[in-house]
Amino acid sequence: MAELVVDDLTVEYHDAGQPVRPFDGLTFSARDGELVVVKAPSGGGKTTLLCVLAGLLSPAKGSVSFGSTVITGLSGRELLEHRRRTAGMVFQSFNLIASLSAVENVSAPLVLTGTPARTAKSRALAALEQVGLADRASFRPGRLSGGQQQRVAFARALVREPALLLADEPTAHLDSPNARTAVTLLREFVRPGRLVVVATHDDRFLEVADRLIDPSPARAA
């Protein structure tokens, strides 16, 4: 089993010349096969934490490890490989390419890392099937509803079979039925060998969470 260990983590940036720490000394651990929900109000450090886990942001202090890899100690090609192979990121704004079909959006991360086009398409179709969108594979984002676009974003993050799946406010732009679908799917993505971390303000995730984290300074533990 792979364990995520966050130890004494602090992120600092400056706003109008003043230092801001969205979290300070955050410590927690979780194992693959769990759904970790990071819940805090706006500005509480949820997205910042996901960016550190994905290797997109370096902390001011502390460390993050996943399995035998110290994420905060990676640089260069090793860091790039972590982003490509280990961490799958679902962005709040979906970040789909408007000119590409659903299957092309999902297969893009594979094609860009050298997977043959036929293999990439086959794996992308399987990922779309997993989120219930195989029949929309040829549709571009403009022909998809918000909920469908979110599911394409899920499929794109899953297509590389990441051990660490990170989702940033996955229900923020969805109506209630589609939000419930997103919650259900993210719960289903949890399995041995995969840890799912969701940053959210949505109370619906509390029903399915294995672990709840509040990164804000007053409650970090």
The yes-or-no verdict on residue 219 having pLDDT over 80 is: no
CATH of 35-58+74-213 given 3.40.718.10, 3.90.1150.10, 3.40.50.300, 3.40.50.2000: 3.40.50.300
pLDDT score recorded for residue 217: 58
The yes-or-no verdict on residue 171 having pLDDT over 50 is: yes
Residue 163 φ/ψ, nearest 5 degrees: -80, -20
Question: How far is 81 from 86, CA to CA, in rounded Å?
Answer: 7
The yes-or-no verdict on residue 215 having pLDDT over 70 is: yes
Sign of CA dihedral 68, 80, 37, 151: negative
The yes-or-no verdict on residue 104 having pLDDT over 90 is: yes
Q: Is 217 left (phi over 0), alpha (psi -120 to 50) or beta?
A: alpha
Assess contact for 35 and 204: CB atoms under 8 A. Answer: no
Assess contact for 208 and 182: CB atoms under 8 A. Answer: no
The yes-or-no verdict on residue 220 having pLDDT over 80 is: no
Coil, helix or strand at residue 122 = helix
Q: What would the pLDDT profile of 57-66 be if each residue is shown by its tens digit?
A: 999 999 999 9
The yes-or-no verdict on residue 218 having pLDDT over 80 is: no
Q: What would the pLDDT profile of 173-183 be if each residue is shown by its tens digit?
A: 999 999 999 99
∠ CA 189-191-195, rounded to 5°:
80
Average pLDDT value over all residues in the chain:
93
Q: What would the pLDDT profile of 135-147 be if each residue is shown by its tens digit?
A: 999 999 999 999 9
